[in-house]
Amino acid sequence: MSNRRNTINRFTIKMQKKLLILFMFILAAFAGLSARLFLINRDNGEDYKKQVLSQQEYDSTTIPFKRGEIVDSNGTVLAVSNKVYNVILDANLLMQDEKNLEPTLSALKKIFNIDTNTVRTYIAEHPNSAYYVMAKRVEYEKKVAFEDLQKDPEQGKNIKGVWFEDEYRREYPNGSLACDVIGFTTSDNVGTYGLEEYYNDILCGTNGREYGYLNDDSTLERTTVPAKDGYNIQTTIDANIQAIVEKYLKAFNEEYKDSVRPGNGAETLGCIIMEVNTGNVLAMADYPVFDLNDTRNEQNLIGMPLLDKDGKKVKPAECVTQEAIRGMNDQVMYQHLNALWKNHCIVDSYEPGSVAKPFTVAAAIESGAITGNETYLCEGKLHVGDHDIKCHQIYGDGRISVQEGIERSCNVVLMNVAFALGKERFVDYQHLFGFGLKTNIDLAGEARTDTMVFNKDNIGPTDLATNSFGQSFNVTMIQTAAGFCSLINGGYYYEPHVVSRITTADGATIENVEPRILKQTISNTTSETIREFCNTVVTGEHGTGHTARPAGYIIGGKTGTAETLPRGNKEYVVSFLGYAPADDPQIVIYVVVDRPNAYPQDDAKYATKIVRNILTEVLPYLNIFMTEELTDKEREELEELQIQIRTPQGAQTEELDEEGNLVNPQEGTEEETQEGEEQEGTEEETEEDTEDREAWRDFPKDPATGYLIDPATGNFVDPELGTVMGGGSLIDDATEGEEGAEGTGEGTEPGDTPGGSEPTATE
């Protein structure tokens, strides 16, 4: 035990000696290092201090990425980021010699118009500063002009302490074109609205960095990590078609603004053109528009509905005026700008009106509830529950077939079709067609409408009746257009989209966005039947859409009119949902006019005439050729528009002679007609009944409007269709329907109850 203790003591003493020696060596080394640092600081400290300070300001700088371009389907640039420069002052370097001050300030004033007094004040307060931004986002030409001045042997020798920092500025070469589709960016390069927001992560790249450091010889070395630019996106939008659409929306506004009330030609105007067999959106526009390079220009607000601080329309309705703008605080101004910037085609919901009728008929035929050959007796109204719901043709259409019900837009026929279908299947098909669901179009801000349609638990007989002709439930334009494509293309529901390709800055393809078929809504046979029915809306004797047909073409479609809330206010949303050409649909066009600035408002011609004007230019552009002879009037109209109608070489069947007639026109096949099957228990219509219903034809004409006037009521009557115009609510003893979801261009908030206990019947 004693030996072990002695061993431990000897070991401990030995280790202590070693540790003491090691400590002395470390202490000596530290003393030597301290002495060396003292000598360096004494002899060269000031030089190193300047280098370190310089390195802090200059040699760890950000290299900005370039945001990707947005181009149309033909490669036309819609959005681009161009390099600009921030003008930076190194006050410390400038003031190393005071004789540099005045020449430098003079050059800054001359080239950039910089306030020299502000710069003088900054230099006085921050003499050691090496980074002060004097001007932001100056153009390349000005930068070159300043650099040339610096190189001048006389003027430039005393221009010191100024350098340039790279930056990018987002620019939109076409101004307001497709503004609601494109969106814009904030000052910090973040996308807002439209494609800029939806594809922000794709369009954005990664900043680079330039690092500086001192080598062994105290020389500044640089290491650069380059920026990675954002990807480009190519859209399905065709800038030429988009421009045509916007031209005619603007023309409508110019024609009707301040007509009946102060304000724009309508509260909102919207148009979508889609390819039937791909889901590609060729054009999407609404009015009013704004300049993407000047998004906060308040003059664009003039004529819009006046809003309160919560973004709701003021009551009674007013429009934005110059005086109103001067009285707006920041919150109210933001509400108006937000209303201007949003894309009404995907954000706002409204009651679609009779454009929903083909969907109801398609569901009934596809489910086997009807064959499509049935006939129903329309006496101007139908008793449902506790109400008499009237047809828009209040004099009655008589006994007509389902096809004629679409052609004439008869509410009574559609209500009977919906009753045959039943509420459960009706709701199922509404969801199948996409009503109440997002389409997932690749644009920011698409509205949810799941609470704006009925479900099987809350739909009643009256709701079913009014839903059948597009009242008491809400949709968006993109929902309706996408669903309608499936009605006429064989039943294939394509997901609508706006981007077709994503590429790198040098053109390499990252991703092709292929058309996506999500489901089949109806069979090809049912689709053919719906096309036949909708064709008669434009070509039939009693069709409501005659005025939508462009010269030389046959198209199909459906008109729509929906009365807004509160019921009986005589305010309407009118529309036309069509396709061209009629025999082989290639495109769908949907135009919605929300509360036209005219009286009466419930006239679908406000929409059909816009469609006609647009298609007159768009169809030849798309190489969709004429099949119908032109009248002299139509030829004169085309000559006035200076539209060159192109035909494919060798296509003799579509060549026009000097008189506008077709050379060797294709012979059309006669449509097979089928007699409608009469419902059991219905009353036969007599010749006397028919004469009574046609009595409106003898009404006197109002020379100011061109409408007929019903002597008994004073209501306007359409001289072609016998439709009562501006007659107010068409349901007996109808209340204002305060519980319903308002069919307006302003949209309805999620959570609102669809429909209402007191719906109205409209065309």
- Provide the pLDDT for residue 94: 85
Which pairs from 96-99 meet CB under 8 Å and 24+ separation?
A: 96/160, 97/158, 97/160, 99/158
Give tens-digit pLDDT for 623-670. 999 998 888 888 888 888 764 434 343 333 344 444 344 344 333 433
Question: Which position has the token pair 């199909």?
Answer: 556
Give tens-digit pLDDT for 456-468. 999 999 999 999 9
Question: Which position has the token pair 């910037």?
Answer: 341
In the beta sheet, which residues pair with residue 171? 80
pLDDT > 90? residue 38: no
- Provide the pLDDT for residue 194: 97
Cα dihedral 468→474→479→485 (10° resolution): 20
Range of lowest pLDDT (44-58, 151-165, 444-458): 44-58
pLDDT > 80? residue 242: yes
Q: Higher-confidence residue: 432 or 396?
A: 432
Report CA torsion sign: 345, 349, 355, 357.
positive
- Provide the pLDDT for residue 653: 37
Of all residues in the chain, what percent carry a pLDDT higher than 90? 58
- Provide the pLDDT for residue 637: 84
Query: Nearest-CA neighbor of 146 among 131, 163, 132?
Result: 163
Q: Higher-confidence residue: 260 or 57?
A: 260
Q: Higher-confidence residue: 659 or 431?
A: 431
| Residue 455: pLDDT band with limits 50, 70, 90 | very high
| Residue 675: pLDDT band with limits 50, 70, 90 | very low
Mean pLDDT of 278-283: 98
Give tens-digit pLDDT for 496-552. 999 999 999 888 999 999 999 999 999 999 999 999 999 999 999 999 999 999 999
- Provide the pLDDT for residue 55: 47
Of all residues in the chain, what percent carry a pLDDT higher than 70? 78
- For residue 690, the SS3 value is helix
Q: What spatial distance separates the first Cα and last Cα of the chain, rounded to whole Å?
A: 115
Q: Higher-confidence residue: 700 or 99?
A: 99
Residue 296 DSSP label: T
> What is the C-alpha to C-alpha distance for residues 399 and 180, in angstroms, rounded to an integer?
46
- Provide the pLDDT for residue 591: 98
Q: Higher-confidence residue: 414 or 748?
A: 414
> What is the C-alpha to C-alpha distance for residues 724 and 602, in angstroms, rounded to an integer?
9
The pTM (predicted TM-score) of the whole model is 0.81
pLDDT > 80? residue 228: yes
239, 100 Cβ separation under 8 angstroms:
no
| Residue 60: pLDDT band with limits 50, 70, 90 | low
Give tens-digit pLDDT for 304-323. 999 998 999 998 889 999 99
pLDDT > 60? residue 367: yes
β-strand 70-71 against 232-235: which pairing, if any?
A: parallel
271, 286 Cβ separation under 8 angstroms:
yes
Question: Given strand 208-214, what is the order of strands in its sheet?
Answer: 60-63, 208-214, 220-225
- Provide the pLDDT for residue 16: 74
Give tens-digit pLDDT for 80-115. 999 999 999 988 888 888 888 888 898 899 899 999
496, 279 Cβ separation under 8 angstroms:
yes
> What is the C-alpha to C-alpha distance for residues 204 and 22, in angstroms, rounded to an integer?
58
pLDDT > 80? residue 191: yes
Number of separate helices (H) and strands (E) present in the chain: 22, 29
Range of lowest pLDDT (60-64, 326-330, 612-616): 60-64
> What is the C-alpha to C-alpha distance for residues 607 and 576, in angstroms, rounded to an integer?
6
Mean pLDDT of 7-34: 74
- Provide the pLDDT for residue 127: 86
- Provide the pLDDT for residue 754: 54
Q: Higher-confidence residue: 483 or 13?
A: 483
Given phi > 0 = left and psi -120 to 50 = alpha, else beta, which region is 263? Answer: left
Give tens-digit pLDDT for 122-160. 988 988 888 899 998 899 999 999 989 888 888 888 888
| Three-point CA angle 79, 85, 87, nearest 5° | 155
In this structure, which amino acid lies at residue 362? A
- For residue 132, the SS3 value is strand
- Provide the pLDDT for residue 411: 94
Residues 6+ apart with CB under 8 A from 269: 249, 252, 253, 286, 287, 591, 592, 593, 594, 610
